Structure 1
Amino acid sequence: MKNKTPWYIYPPDEPKKHHGDDALGALVGALLMMIVLFVALDHALYKVVSVMSAWWDSLGLWLGS
């Protein structure tokens, strides 16, 4: 008589990797996240500087006239 226990009840032969086991993957992921963060911050800083520059120019025109 065959064993009728389903295959999915038994644990796998090889243990699965847990989060943090792949150090190189974590390093690459962290570097990519830092690049995205720096690009986003650079874009936000550019927007703030351009708005402040336009405001300063308009203030100078208003005070100069």
Structure 2
Amino acid sequence: MSDSALFQLVLSEIWLTNFQYGPEEWIWKCLHYGRRFPFRSQYYFLGLIADLHFLKYF
């Protein structure tokens, strides 16, 4: 696996933990349906809590 593919996998995991859609997907969806959708994931705060529990073991 190339370095750029590995970087994209790590970055996408971080992004999707915090946000429900990618930036272009969010813009396209808002334009298509004619209304604004929430950008942050509904599980954002649960992810922060899980990260804090994970970090206490290090």
TM more than 0.5: no
Q: Choose 1 or 2 for highest CA Rg.
A: 1
Shorter-chain TM-score bucket reads 0.3 to 0.5
TM-score norm. by structure 1 comes to 0.30
Q: Taking CA–CA contacts closer than 8 Å with sequence separation of 6 or more, which of the two structures ends up with the larger relative contact order?
A: 2
